[in-house]
Amino acid sequence: MSGTLTIDGKTIPFAAGQSVIEAARCAGIYIPHLCHKPGYAPHGSCKLCTVFVNGRKTSACTYPAAADQNVVSDTPELQQDRLRLTQMLFVEGNHFCPSCEKSGNCQLQGVAYHLRMLDNHYPHFYPQRQVDASHPDILLDHNRCIFCNLCVRASRDHDGKNVFAIAGRGINKRLIVNSASGQLKDSDISIDDQATQVCPTGAILVKRTGYQVPIGERWYDRQPISELALGKEDSHER
Amino acid sequence: MKTFVDKVLAQAEFQPARLLEVLRAVQAEFRHIPEPAIELIAVGLQIPRTQIIAVAEFYSFLHLAPQGRYELYIADSITDRMLGNQQVLEALAARLQVAVGGVRGDGLVSLNRTACTGMCDQGPAGLVNGYPLPRLTPAKIDALAALIEKQVPLNAWPTEMFRVEEPICRPDLLLNQAFVNGAAIQASFARGLAETLAELDASHLRGRGGAGFKTALKWRSCAQQAATPRYVICNADEGEPGTFKDRMLLDLYPDQVFEGMTVCAAIIGSNHGLIYLRAEYLFLRDKLLAVLQARREQGLLGQAILGRDGFDFDIEIRMGAGAYICGEASAQIESLEGKPGIPRTKPPNSVVCGYQRKPTVVDNVETFFAATHIAIQGGQWFAAVGTPQSTGTKLLSISGDCQRPGIYEYPFGTPVRTILQECGAEDVMGVQVGGPSGTFISNRELDRVVAFEDLSTAGSFMVFNRSRNLFAIAQNFTDFFAHESCGFCTPCRVGTSLLKNQLAKIADGLGAAEDLTELSALCEVVKNNSHCGLGESAANPILTTLLSYPELYLQQLQYQEFAPAFDLDATLAAARRLAQREDPAAHLNQVEN
């Protein structure tokens, strides 16, 4: 099934099997998101892509596109909620952009720029989280994890390994590693895995690559995420 | 350990879907899920070890660290608090020399709070190794402590300790109805299955779990799916604090619940039924297993039910492990598949893609109970009672400040005022209808009625008199949601904790006008962006108490302008100690003048 739907008053085509967010992306319309990535099974957890479809609120990344849908995305109210959700992600963990080597390439930061986030708004939780530096090539900094599940999906669906999972519930959620010690060095992750490349923040980093491109010349330093995410998102990592 | 785990895995037929059952057995044996067991289970079920850890960390009654050989939980719902659960905790902690939230040094006993044990009518209540301890009086606490110190096995404790009462204070249409086993199945066969579905349609029965979806529509959509097998799930995860009517139905009317499931199975073409029984109702399990066995012997379950060739259906009981969210149908299905109870993304819904990705009907205990009688008596009989939008009767679990807490059956449309009179509630400040996820109404709104058109409810009805503190109520409920959020989506995972902290700031007397504005805005973000009903309702306790008693919130504010959430001077105490200073310059004012 294919046809057309409207987003913010603009008529766009969609192809069979596309979600609302994918139809929008192909038509050059950016809907903010963090847990979504083209080519990955939809998750629908970050809720940044929340839109109205025929008057009902839903996640654009999980909702199937259908003929004659009326999608509303770019309104001051929805953008304000997206800003608040992004701020929630910042206060939940420990995000210290100036010292993070992902700065400029970080989607969380890129979305925050896009939403004109000027402060964190909410009181910080300051959780105690670990850094797993055990692996020779890959660093896992739990402080920056936003539970988008992309590494879980990458490892399970693309690498065929199940290296990662998310455990716990509520605010005590945590990313866990599939090894007896719980450490990355004892897992079967490899530097070539998609799971090492897919993290939208600096939670999973490849070691010794941090400053090859200077801060100020990185993706979202040069181009807003709203432009970079369109079409190129599936290839813009690395 | 290997022998034990192997035995448990064999009992679970090495099905990964039965992981919860395996972990519950391991927990019961070793008082936690030990590391070597994780490895054995992972290999035995061929699942990643991370799935086992994720499940163990998700459910309240599973632990990765050892608990006491006597594992005590004391209910912490608001009604248990009103009945003195804090004194119970203190008495137990003192008698047994164990900290609340801790395990005693010798590993004999652990003591914890838990959200709600489904015994709000007979609190303060608790659980020991999964079995209920209703009405914990000082005398009972003494006896309990002595039994634990003497290490008397649970099966040698006086049965009186565990006796759960089922006070039916007001039976009506359904509870008064006579019933003979098999009558609903026979009536359905005699009338025809399509005709029985038509009667269900005519009854306008809506799901009793709270959402109120039309039952006939759900069953019909499931029956129309091409995929097989199809499943019938009875949602007995009655987790809403203040609800205990499903406990009563399963305790006293189990045949009528099973028969409703069987009628459903006949209509949708299912061979396999599951009951998801909440962990707190473990005491009902053996009884229900015996009833199922009796039904097999009566030809009401199993092959060719009542001699009808091709109608094979049986029911399996699966236990939960302590997670409120598993009352949500898709989270329950995830749990039944051996995973953390995280609500699925919709569409597709469970009727299309449910248990094991097959068409599934998930209905509440009370829904199946009502369906049984509709199958016998017909749709008109049921539709004649209640209101146009809400036909029939509703079971209410009444607790809190009233003389006669218990189960009440009322026709839909009954005003709250009538209910309060009949249960003996006086000097009412407000009523929480539908539990924490429902609505708080003040004493100025007592003419509102229990019905889907007005106050919809899964059955929880908590009464508060004017001696109660509104903030204690709102905080208990808000903390509950923060604790029970599955954490899947941002607004609920982070938002419920922010709500908890923001409300605490105001309740602690540190609120300014700005904080109230922020609280309301936060409520809207959480309510409007969450993935499932838990997040959508998590702000209800605050929103509805704000609506009912705005003056109490305003009175609670200390400042007009900004007020910090913490005591600045007190946080500098450590620095002063290190610097060995106590002079005035080492102190800071909270707010600059």
SS3 of chain B: helix, strand, coil, percent, to 5: 50, 15, 35
Model confidence at B590, pLDDT cuts 50, 70, 90, reads: low
Model confidence at B568, pLDDT cuts 50, 70, 90, reads: confident
Stretch among B267-281, B482-496, B553-567 having the lowest mean pLDDT: B553-567
Q: What is the pLDDT of residues A18-51, one digit of tens each?
A: 999 999 999 999 999 999 999 999 999 999 999 9
Residue A169 touches partner B, C-beta closer than 8 Å: yes
Are A180 and B39 within 8 A, CB to CB?
A: yes
Q: How far is B181 from chain A (nearest CA, A)?
A: 42
Task: Give the closest of B50, B489, B525 to A84, CB-based.
Answer: B525
Distances (CA, A) of B88 to B85, B139, B159, B577: 5, 11, 20, 38
With CA atoms as reference, the chain A residue closest to B324 would be: A169
Are A167 and B39 within 8 A, CB to CB?
A: no
Are B494 and A59 within 8 A, CB to CB?
A: no
Residue B176 amino acid letter: N
Rounded mean pLDDT of B508-537? 95
Are A44 and B51 within 8 A, CB to CB?
A: no
Residue A69 touches partner B, C-beta closer than 8 Å: no
Nearest-5° angle of CA B461, CA B365, CA B134? Answer: 55
> Is 90 exceeded by the pLDDT of residue B545?
yes
| Closest of B111, B112, B117, B110 to residue B77, by C-alpha | B117
Q: What is the 3-state secondary structure of B85-111?
A: HHHHHHHHHHHHCCCCCEECCCCCEEE
With CA atoms as reference, the chain A residue closest to B36 would be: A180
Residue A143 touches partner B, C-beta closer than 8 Å: no
Q: pLDDT value at position B558?
A: 81
Residue A176 touches partner B, C-beta closer than 8 Å: yes
Model confidence at B562, pLDDT cuts 50, 70, 90, reads: low
Q: Cα(B78)–Cα(B89) distance, rounded to whole angstroms? A: 15
> Is 90 exceeded by the pLDDT of residue A2?
no
Q: Which tokens hold the place of B557?
A: 């504010």
Q: How far is A88 from chain B (nearest CA, A)?
A: 6
Are A170 and B485 within 8 A, CB to CB?
A: yes
Q: Cα(B90)–Cα(B432) distance, rounded to whole angstroms? A: 28
Q: What percent of chain B has pLDDT over 70?
A: 98
Are B54 and A166 within 8 A, CB to CB?
A: yes
What mean pLDDT, rounded, does chain B reach?
96
Q: How far is A170 from chain B (nearest CA, A)?
A: 4
Model confidence at A192, pLDDT cuts 50, 70, 90, reads: very high
Q: What is the pLDDT of residues B204-255, one digit of tens each?
A: 999 998 889 999 999 999 999 999 999 999 999 999 999 999 999 999 999 9
Q: pLDDT value at position A76?
A: 97
- H-run or E-run covering B441: strand B439-442
Using an 8 Å Cβ cutoff, are A63 and A47 in contact?
Answer: no
Strands A204-206 and A138-141: antiparallel
Q: Which tokens hold the place of B185?
A: 């199945």
Q: Cα(B587)–Cα(B568) distance, rounded to whole angstroms? A: 9
Task: Give the closest of B50, B323, B490 to A165, CB-based.
Answer: B50
Rounded mean pLDDT of A65-90? 98
Q: Cα(B136)–Cα(B128) distance, rounded to whole angstroms? A: 12
Q: pLDDT value at position A236?
A: 43
Rounded mean pLDDT of B110-134? 96
Residue A165 touches partner B, C-beta closer than 8 Å: yes
Rounded mean pLDDT of B484-495? 98
Q: Cα(B363)–Cα(B348) distance, rounded to whole angstroms? A: 17
Q: What is the pLDDT of residues A132-184, one digit of tens each?
A: 999 999 999 999 999 999 999 999 999 999 999 999 999 999 999 999 999 99
Are A85 and B491 within 8 A, CB to CB?
A: yes
Q: How far is B17 from chain A (nearest CA, A)?
A: 18
> Is 70 exceeded by the pLDDT of residue A234?
no
Q: How far is A98 from chain B (nearest CA, A)?
A: 24
Comparing B583 with B294, which gets the higher pLDDT? B294
Rounded mean pLDDT of B114-131? 95
Counting one residue from chain A and one from chain B, the pairs whose CB atoms sit within 8 A come to: 113
Residue A207 touches partner B, C-beta closer than 8 Å: no
- Please give the DSSP secondary-structure letter assigned to residue B233: E
> Is 80 exceeded by the pLDDT of residue B61?
yes
Residue with tokens 């005519």: B202
Using an 8 Å Cβ cutoff, are A140 and A174 in contact?
Answer: no
Q: Cα(B241)–Cα(B308) distance, rounded to whole angstroms? A: 42
Are A170 and B49 within 8 A, CB to CB?
A: no
Q: How far is A212 from chain B (nearest CA, A)?
A: 33
> Is 70 exceeded by the pLDDT of residue B62?
yes
> Is 90 exceeded by the pLDDT of residue B563?
no
Residues of A in contact with B495 (CB under 8 A): 88
Residue B569 amino acid letter: D
Are B50 and A125 within 8 A, CB to CB?
A: no
Model confidence at B591, pLDDT cuts 50, 70, 90, reads: low
Residues of A in contact with B485 (CB under 8 A): 169-171
> Is 80 exceeded by the pLDDT of residue B433?
yes
Q: Cα(B109)–Cα(B100) distance, rounded to whole angstroms? A: 11
Q: What is the pLDDT of residues B136-162, one digit of tens each?
A: 999 999 999 999 999 999 999 999 999
| Gap between the terminal Cα atoms of chain B | 66
Distances (CA, A) of B479 to B476, B484, B544: 5, 9, 16
Are B487 and A44 within 8 A, CB to CB?
A: no
Q: Cα(B480)–Cα(B496) distance, rounded to whole angstroms? A: 9
Model confidence at B570, pLDDT cuts 50, 70, 90, reads: confident
Residues of A in contact with B35 (CB under 8 A): 180
- Please tell me whether residue B47 adopts helix, strand or coil conformation: coil
Q: What is the pLDDT of residues B243-287, one digit of tens each?
A: 999 999 999 999 999 999 999 999 999 999 999 999 999 999 999
Model confidence at B589, pLDDT cuts 50, 70, 90, reads: confident
Q: How many CB atoms lie within 10 A of CB B32?
A: 18
Q: pLDDT value at position B414?
A: 98
Please enumerate in sequence order all residues whose Cβ is within 8 A of that of B421, keeping only pairs 6 or more positions apart, or say none. none
- H-run or E-run covering B382: helix B379-383
Q: DSSP string spanning B160-226?
A: GGG-----EEE--TTTT----TTHHHHHHHHH-HHHHHHHHHHHT-B-TTSS--BHHHHHHHHHT--
Q: pLDDT value at position B567?
A: 78
Please enumerate in sequence order all residues whose Cβ is within 8 A of that of B409, keeping only pairs 6 or more positions apart, or say none. B168, B170, B171, B172, B173, B174, B175, B393, B394, B395, B396
Residues of B in contact with A46 (CB under 8 A): 489-490
Are A165 and B495 within 8 A, CB to CB?
A: no
Q: How far is A182 from chain B (nearest CA, A)?
A: 9
Q: Which tokens hold the place of B304?
A: 């060719």
Model confidence at B585, pLDDT cuts 50, 70, 90, reads: confident
Task: Give the closest of A89, A167, A170 to B490, CB-based.
Answer: A89
Q: Cα(B458)–Cα(B210) distance, rounded to whole angstroms? A: 4
Q: How far is B533 from chain A (nearest CA, A)?
A: 13
Rounded mean pLDDT of B570-585? 89
Are A169 and B494 within 8 A, CB to CB?
A: no
> What's the number of CA atoms in the CB half-sphere (13 Å) around residue B189?
15
Residues of A in contact with B530 (CB under 8 A): 47
> Is 70 exceeded by the pLDDT of residue B592?
no
Are A46 and B565 within 8 A, CB to CB?
A: no
Q: pLDDT value at position A233?
A: 57
> Is 80 exceeded by the pLDDT of residue B75?
yes
Task: Give the closest of B51, B345, B493 to A173, CB-based.
Answer: B493
Q: How many CB atoms lie within 10 A of CB B218?
A: 22
